Structures are given as structure tokens and as C-alpha cells.
A and B are shown apart, each in its own frame.
Chain A
């Protein structure tokens, strides 16, 4: 044991088995302590929050490097004989873990600023941390059981965040959210147990594990896919299971950002990707005819969501329907056979996240600083809040798909992949969606920049300092908007989301 070489190898060995667990715990434990923090201990709570977020970021940095080098990270915990909690870091999980970790740090800063002087902060940040822990658990889940467990914990942890404001509206929104997600969770559970009885423990493996199943079981496998998809589609807000999402807009802005960009809808979309690629295997799913069903559902959702967004005057509601639409790009990318479309779908997981979180941060800033909640109140906000509006514009243009912003890259790859797979109708969906996106975002930009501001804002707060709003509220959207630009401009650089999505696609297709 005294041999330094064996010591260092045993160190890296224990590192490999502990790191995924540590990444989940790095937000879970501070979160548990935050519940106990007295309400007025502002500093202690902030310290715990930032400590967890930064520690997680450091750990994820180590993880990225290791996974890139081909190192295997896996934590296992037997919760009952035959039932194992497995956290396993593969390239796909790293993509999602990194997204949620980076955005969590930024959102935490934003939330600290946003919730200053508002009640029940210990409760809020406790559940906030729990929510991110669950998301990271979903990302790192190495088998279907673990995925189901964290998926349900996410439901539970998010409910108090949606209900946080305590108004009758908030309670109602939370109730609707819960009714949808619990029902979806039960469908997912039933599908997972059913699959388990056919195959034994279902580990996520690149290329899928089911292609060897005998043809007599294909009927059952289709039924299982329907159950799993129903459960995942609720969180991913696929039409017709999207009804909770616009209702949960009553939540405070940091929660909306988290729900839409990082946690809930992403968990659903990520789950669809997992099931298609790592459980069924994309080719096998295609041969069962499951991909075309998914493609049709995703396309309907894309068009429907954009159309609904066009009709909303509430800014957050418009953004919510935009999420319904945009998240389905991920499912659409996953449903087209071929590595290029896969890359498009996967990279959109990240791109949609950074763009949408920018938009929600900005919406929160308008509401907090000026009391502006509706699109029709946004005349001239660009003159009053130029930086926020600049960030908003970058996010919005990215959503439309204008180069060189991140959203363009996703659309380009999905379109290219569709052409390669011979599914030209997808281009029509993309074109229609782009027109609709422009239809609901450009009028906002026009109002914000070119219309004269009103004499009085609905409810203006003046913050001390030289910025247009509080620093903690202003920096997060500027940073995420910059990320949108960087992800688009430097898409070909190493460790860019696009490069990483290509790495995943190579491993999924065995190229």
C-alpha cells in the first residue's frame, strides 16, 4: 500500500466511484441545511447557496475532462436486492449536467437578487437546491430505475417553487402542475416496471439494449414505449400534455427560468432522448415505427406552441408557449434517423436552455424594475433598459434562428439531418416554425427599440447604483446572452456544445 503508484491509482479509483454521487450531493446537502437557516440570516444562506453551486461547477469540470478522456465514472448504491441506484457519467449525461450546473450558478445569483426582501427565502432556496440535485440525478442516471426516482423527486421539489408566492393563482397553477406530472410519473413508473419484468435491470447503454428482443415481444415493447413516452411527454410539454406549463407561469421569474431552461421540461426532453437512444436504440425504435410517431407529435407541438405564443399578450405566457414549441426540436431531432439530426436535437438541449433562460431573466427584470408584464406595455423599454433589452434581443433572434446565434446551429443541423434521412417535410415544419417565431418575437423587439416609451411605467423601482437595474439581476442575462453568441460563433471550437453533441452522436451510432 505504501507504493505511491498504487496509492494514486486507488485514489483515482475511488474518485471514479464517488464523483457522480458527490455531484448530486453538492447541491443536496447545502439545500438541506438551507431549510434550517433562520430567515434573516441572509449571508449564511447566500454562502451556502454559492458554496454548493461553485463546488458543483468544479466537480463537473473534473467530470468533463475525465469523460472526454474516456474515464468511466460510476456510483452505485443497492437500495434493495436487484434494485440499484446507479449514477453513471457518459457523454450525454455530461452535456445535461454541465448545462444545469452552469445555469444553476447563474440562476442562483439572479434569484438572490430577485427575492431580496421577499418572504420565505429559506424554504425557497432549500427546494431550489433540491430541484437542481434532482435534475443532476436525472442527467447522471445510469439505469431506468434511477431515472424514475429522480424524475419523481424533481416533481416533488418543483411543486413548492411553483406554489411559492402563495396567491390563489399560484396554488392553482401548482395544483395543475402536480396533477399533470404525478399522472405522467405513474405512467412512466408502470412502463419502467413492465420493461423490467421483460428484460431485468434496464441500464442505459449507447446504441440501446432492446434490439435483441424476440419479435413476439415487439407488441409489448411498443406498449411500454407508449407508457414511457406519455410519462416523459408531460414534462417535455408535448401536445396534448402541455397544459400545465402556461399555468405554472405564476411562479417567480427564477423558477420559470429554471423550469423552462434547465429542470423540468429539459428532464422530459432528455428522458425522451435517453429512451430512444440508450434503451430502445435509434435504429430499433425506427424499425418498430416509434420514431415517426414521435416525429409527428413533435412537429405538431412545434407548430401549435408557436401559434399559441403568437396569441399571448402576457410576456411570460408568450415565452411559455415558445418553450412548448422549442423543446420539441429536441424530440424532433431525436426522431429523425441519422447522426446529423441527432446532433441538432442534442445541441438544442443546450442552446434552447441558454436562450430561454436569457429571455426569462429579461422578462423578470422588466417585471421587477418597471412592472411591465405584458407585451403591450413594452413600448420603448429599450431606451430605459438598454442592456436587458439587448440580451433579450439576442435570445429572441437566436430563437428565430438567425445566424450567428446558437439557435441557428440547431435548426441547421436538424434540417440537414432531415434532408439526409429523406424526410423533406421536416423542412416545412422548420420553415413554418421560423416564420411563427419571427411573428411573435419581432413585434416585441420593434416595440422595445423603436416605439417611444410611455410617460410612466406601470410600477417602477429605482435601484441605487449606475445600472439600469440591480446588478444581480442585470449580469445573469448579459452572461447568458453572451453564451448564446459564443455557442453560435465558436460552434466548431473544442468543448463547444456542438462538438460535444457530435461526440455523443459518434458514440451512439458507433461511428
Chain B
């Protein structure tokens, strides 16, 4: 596969967004444009996913794929690069986005919302792929900014007062985050004259105070966008008030993109600076996020708010890995930790999107999403409830699910590096997650009449079920290929 395929991963959704705008203009009336838009959206979604499949197949067979756009090499030009980590994130993001797209074709009841949704959504998708595939820090900044703008616009789509104010805040916080990140990039650029991650990584072997400042600035900016406790305050209202397909994308993908960047920086760029002390701080924030997020999820009155707080908690798990990685010497043990970290991020992406999509359907049928009054509706929608249950068991980390494997390896790594206190955090998080998930599920067993069939609304329920199933069955029972994709020894002993 030639590396040009990387460009298509960004170009196809970008083109789709353009076509969507044209479609609206050509058809004139909103009602007439809506079915055409759905078709444009679905075709674009399928093509983009196929491109990513091709990219992944190539990385799988031949390792890292790199494209210098216009033939200009680093340090001057713009480059796209796919290694195992970016391919893994791309596959998850694109499958989730495909599911969201299918779901969205049936979700928007008023045509003007669909009209606003599709161009923005495809633009967001392009930014997401661009971010996962970018090879230099400035390109990353551009994609991050585009992602933040489209995400905030999509989040405010319902037009309700709550949604608009929450997403205006989200927009401002996002801008602050990316500005802080950019400041760090500028520091590095003035010091080393390059923004290519590979070149900078080589230059940063002997860290000095400027590097440390850049690390702190960039990490802080991104942590704000990744909603790491205590910088998570903007997330719950923004995610809970968005339309369901958008909530799914925000919680499963957009937050994950910022986290992916932090991971890249800490693994590739600032590896010499990632001291045990610094990573203990990240671990501590992660632990606080788990406890606080889970607790708030348990107290939440609305289903989507619960899901949003659960995202805060799940992001916390990802940060628990940093102190373990810092203490673990290179070798299979460290590989396992990195793979487990990615596995947890992927599982959460699939599970949380499945949860939001199913919750959206329940909300549409019930007309609200107050947990204590959802019982009847949940029971009449068995497939949606089943998707919530599957996604929920993945969020708790029950087997079989990718997050169970991730949690097992997390606990194992914590004990192996003598940091048993993270095991206690994981245990508390698991119990709290069990409590908030089953607080929802316990309402699904009521005295309502028996539903007639399993599937009520295939276009909405099948994507939710499939996404939840991937996080449970595929990642929980066959996680081995992830190790191979990341370039680790898949036969190695843990």
C-alpha cells in the first residue's frame, strides 16, 4: 500500500463535508435535502472506514507508514504518519464513527438539524483522523483546534439554553487548552527549530528547564481538553446536553484524542522527562478522577449525565498507567502495560459510544432521561437495554471485556512495580462503577408487559449493540492482535 492512502483518511471526510454543504444548497428546501444528505453521509462514512482499514492492514504487514505531503521532508514540511498506536486509535474511532453515522440517519426528526449535523460531523471526523495521523506538533495543533470547534458546534446542536451555554463554555475551555498547548510547542520550536515528533524526540535526550516547561504547558493544555480531574468541570454538562450521536462522539472519541496526544508526548517526545515523580502526579489525578467521577455518576439523576461522569472516571483509569510505565523497565512487562492502556482506551471508546447511542434511543422513546422513571421504557426496548448492559459491564471492567484485560494487567503491573495503592483505587473504581451501572439496569426489570420482539428500531439499536459487543466480546476474548499491531511480541509471557 502506498503511503498516499494516509491523505485519503483526511481528504475523504473533508470532501464529504463539502458535498454535504453543496447538497443542501442544490436542493433548496430542507426536507428535500435530508435523504440525500443521509446518503452522502453514509457513503462518506463507509469510504473513510475502508481507507482506515487499508491503512491498518498496511501497518499490520509492513509497520509504520509515512507520507511527506508535497515531497517536503521534515523539518519543513507537513507529514502524516501511521504507526501501530495511531492505527489502533484510528480503527476504533472510525468504527465508532461509522456506527454513529448509521444511527444519525434515523435520529434527527427535524430536517434542519440533520442539515447542520452532517457537514460538521464529517469535518470533525476529518480532524480526528488528521490528529491521529499527524506527525508534527503544529499539524497536531491545527487538527486539535478544528476538532474543538466542530465538537462545540455539534454539542450545541439542540439549541436549548443549557446546551448552548454548556458548549460555549466547552469552546472557551477548549481554546484555552489548545493555546496552552501551542505555547509549549512554540517553546520547543524556538529551542530546536523543528516540530516533527521524531526529530524532537532525538533532540530531547538531555532535558533542560525549557523542555520541562514545555512538557508542563502541553500536558496541562491537553489535560484540560481530556477532562482530567480537576479540569473536568466542563465535560458533564456539555456531553449530557448534546444530541445522542454527538454525545457518543464527544465522550468516546474527542476526549480520547486529547488523551492520545498526551500519551504520544509522554512516550515518544518527553520520555527522558517522564520521571516517577511527575508520573505519580498524573496517577494521583487519575485516581481522584476515578473516585470523584464514579461517585458523581452514582449520584446523577439523568442517564446521560451519568454516562458523562462515567467518562471522567474512565479517563482517570488511563492516567493510572503513567506511574506504572515510569517504574517498569523496558521489556515485555512494559509492552503489556502500554497495550493494556490502549486496550482500555479502545474498550471505553466502543462501550461509551454504545451506551450513549442506546441511552439516546431510550430518551427519545421516554421523552426524558431521568433514571428513576425510565424503567418502563427500558423494558419495552430489550435491544437498547441489552446494549446498555453490555456497555455497562465493560465500563465496570467485568469479563469478558477489553477493560477487564486492561484492568487485570493494570493491577498486575501495579503489584509488580510495588505500587499496590493503585490496586486499591482500581478496586474502589470497579465497585463504584458496578453500583452506578446497576442503578440503571435495576430499572429494566419491572412489571411492564412483555416486549413483542427484541429489536424495535434496527437503525438505532444495531449500531449500539455492535459497538457494545465489540468492547465486550472482540476486545475481551481476542485482544492479541492489538499487541501485534503495536509491534509487541504477541506470544510473549506476561
Contacts and interface: CB of A to CB of B under 8 A. Distances in A.
A196 B412 contact: yes
A40 B448 CA distance: 16
Given A80-B482, A186-B430, 17 more contacts: A35-B382, A79-B476, A79-B480, A80-B409, A80-B494, A81-B339, A82-B492, A119-B449, A153-B398, A156-B393, A160-B445, A164-B445, A166-B447, A175-B442, A178-B438, A186-B431, A193-B412
Interface stretch (B183-191, B280-288, B451-459): B451-459
B386 interface: yes
Contacts of B441: 159
B483 interface: yes
B350 interface: no
A80 B480 contact: yes
Contact of A149 (B399, B445, B478, B493): B399
Contacts of B494: 80-83
Contacts of B427: 186, 190
A194 B453 CA distance: 45
A243 B438 CA distance: 19
B405 interface: yes
Given A166-B445, A182-B431, A38 B453 contact: yes
Contacts of B477: 77, 79, 85
B415 A197 contact: yes
A185 to B, nearest CB: 8
A39 B380 CA distance: 12
Contact of A190 (B332, B409, B423): B423
A84 to B, nearest CB: 10
Query: 4 smallest A-B Cβ distances: which pairs?
Result: A82-B494, A163-B445, A149-B399, A80-B479
B398 A200 contact: no
A116 B377 CA distance: 25
Nearest to B479: A80
A82 to B, nearest CB: 3
Q: Which of A82, A85, A178 is the most central at the interface, judged by chain B CB atoms within 10 Å of its CB? A: A82
Interface of B: 332, 336, 339, 343, 382, 386, 393, 398-400, 404-405, 408-409, 411-412, 415-416, 423, 427, 430-431, 434, 438, 441-442, 445-454, 476-480, 482-483, 488-494
A81 B434 contact: no
B132 to A, nearest CB: 23
A193 B340 CA distance: 15
A122 B448 CA distance: 15
A343 to B, nearest CB: 33
Interface of A: 35-36, 38-39, 77-83, 85, 119-123, 145, 148-149, 152-153, 155-156, 159-160, 163-164, 166-167, 170-171, 174-175, 178, 182-183, 185-186, 189-190, 193-194, 196-197, 200
A81 B490 contact: yes
Contacts of A85: 477
Given A174-B445, A183-B431, A83 B405 contact: yes
Contacts of B482: 80
B386 A80 contact: no
Given A39-B450, A174-B442, A197-B412, A82 B400 contact: no
9 contacts: A35-B382, A81-B483, A82-B493, A83-B409, A120-B450, A121-B450, A166-B445, A166-B448, A170-B445
A188 to B, nearest CB: 11
A160 B430 CA distance: 20
B218 to A, nearest CB: 31
Contacts of A186: 427, 430-431
A115 B412 CA distance: 45
B416 A197 contact: yes
A217 to B, nearest CB: 13
Nearest to A121: B450
A81 B445 contact: no
A156 B386 CA distance: 12
Contacts of B382: 35, 123
Q: Which of B405, B427, B438, B476 is the most central at the interface, judged by chain A CB atoms within 10 Å of its CB? A: B438
A441 to B, nearest CB: 33
Contacts of B451: 39
B269 to A, nearest CB: 27
Nearest to A151: B399
B378 to A, nearest CB: 12
Contacts of A123: 382
A190 B425 CA distance: 12
Contact of A80 (B393, B405, B431, B445): B405
B395 to A, nearest CB: 13
A424 to B, nearest CB: 41
B434 A35 contact: no
Nearest to B453: A38
Nearest to B445: A163
B225 to A, nearest CB: 30
Contacts of B489: 81
Contacts of A153: 398-400
Contacts of A39: 450-453
A117 to B, nearest CB: 11
Given A160-B445, A170-B445, A193 B493 contact: no
A36 B479 CA distance: 28
Contacts of B431: 182-183, 186
A189 B397 CA distance: 11
A175 B454 CA distance: 25
Contact of B399 (A36, A152, A170, A200): A152
Nearest to A162: B445
Nearest to B382: A123
A182 B431 CA distance: 7
Contacts of B343: 80
B400 A149 contact: yes
Given A152-B399, A167-B447, A178-B438, A81 B493 contact: yes
A194 B415 contact: yes
Q: Which of A119, A163, A189 is the most central at the interface, judged by chain B CB atoms within 10 Å of its CB? A: A189
Contacts of A167: 447
A148 B399 contact: yes
B422 to A, nearest CB: 12
A160 B392 CA distance: 14
Contacts of A122: 454
B371 to A, nearest CB: 14
A432 to B, nearest CB: 37
B376 to A, nearest CB: 11
Nearest to B494: A82
Contact of B478 (A79, A119, A189): A79
A340 to B, nearest CB: 37
Contacts of B393: 156
A104 to B, nearest CB: 22
B430 to A, nearest CB: 5
